[in-house]
Amino acid sequence: MTYDPTGHLLLTPVDREAPLRVRRLRELGMGERPDPEFDAFATKLATVTGAPYSMVNFIDENRQFFAGLHTPEGTHSGDLSIKAAATGGVSRFMARDHGYCPHVVVRRKALVLEDVCDYPRFAGNPVVDEIGIRSYLGAPLIDRTGTALGTICVVDTEPRPWGRAGLETIKSLAAELVEQIHRREDGRL
């Protein structure tokens, strides 16, 4: 749990479902290694939304793991929160208190931030200063057991007018990926 030292705002939400999520992800064999199918889905996210960065993100108690990742450079090394700003490389790991996906998982609702700086609660997030994130669009991946496994999201270093169309698109794509996960679990993929 991270607080803004000046405004005393809770920046990272408490996630009571994390242990259940971790167990479910292990059952599914996901969340610990890159997955070419999720990389392809992340590329689809970027193409559909026109965003430079997109992720299929699974979250445990301490960190986020991008099992699917699309970047403009195609680099996926280092620690996103530290090395991305220094080297331009993007990692598949990020601290749980960085970014907006932990909010989406806990809220179990899509989140549209056209300009993160318009929202004091989100403007103080480390990804703003360390990586330069200015806009976010994400939706939860809620499976048939009711578990919020993680998120899909797209981000940009510029404000983006996602609007209602962006919200509907990200929700639709999240449902599509959940169906893909179910087919995989059922052995149909």
- At residue 89, the pLDDT reads 53
- At residue 102, the pLDDT reads 94
Using pLDDT thresholds of 50, 70 and 90, give the confidence band for residue 169: very high
Locate 64 and state its tokens: 């986020």
- At residue 81, the pLDDT reads 36
**Residue 175 CB: number of other CB atoms within 10 A?**
13
Using pLDDT thresholds of 50, 70 and 90, give the confidence band for residue 1: very low
Using pLDDT thresholds of 50, 70 and 90, give the confidence band for residue 36: very high
Which residues make Cβ contacts (< 8 Å) with residue 131, sequence separation at least 6?
80, 81, 84, 85, 157
Average pLDDT, the chain: 86
pLDDT in tens, 46-101: 999 999 999 999 999 889 999 999 998 765 443 333 334 344 456 899 988 888 99
**Domains and their CATH numbers in the chain:** 18-185 (3.30.450.40)
- At residue 19, the pLDDT reads 95
- At residue 83, the pLDDT reads 36
Of the chain, the percentage scoring pLDDT greater than 90 comes to 68
pTM of the model: 0.85
Higher pLDDT, 115 or 7: 115
Rg (CA), the chain: 15
Identify the CA nearest to 92 among candidates 49, 35, 134: 35
The answer to whether 135 touches 100, Cβ cutoff 8 Å, is no
Q: Is the pLDDT of residue 132 over 70?
A: yes
